[in-house]
Amino acid sequence: MLILSRRKNESIIIDDHIRLTVVDVCGETVKIGIAAPLSVQIFRSEVYDAVKKANIDSVMEGKNLPPIL
């Protein structure tokens, strides 16, 4: 993993078109501004991981559909 040190208001450019800016640092919390094209999907990693895990866990094993109505 690449590790870079940045101060408040400093940025990192990724792939020519994504700019991450450290907007604020307060104790253990860092506020990050992200400027990216609309087509770039951005998620909090815990949310992304939860939905990804749910997708993989939900692959059907058989065709039985338990009645719920």
Residues near another protein (CB under 8 A) are 38-39, 41, 43, 47-48, 50-69
H-assigned helices in the chain: 45-57
Q: How far is the CB of 66 from another protein (least distance, A)?
A: 6
Nearer to another protein (CB atom), residue 26 or residue 54: 54
Contact 8, 22 (CB under 8 A): yes
Length of the chain: 69
Q: How far is the CB of 63 from another protein (least distance, A)?
A: 5
Nearer to another protein (CB atom), residue 5 or residue 67: 67
- Could you give the CA distance from residue 31 to residue 41 in angstroms, rounded to a whole number? 18
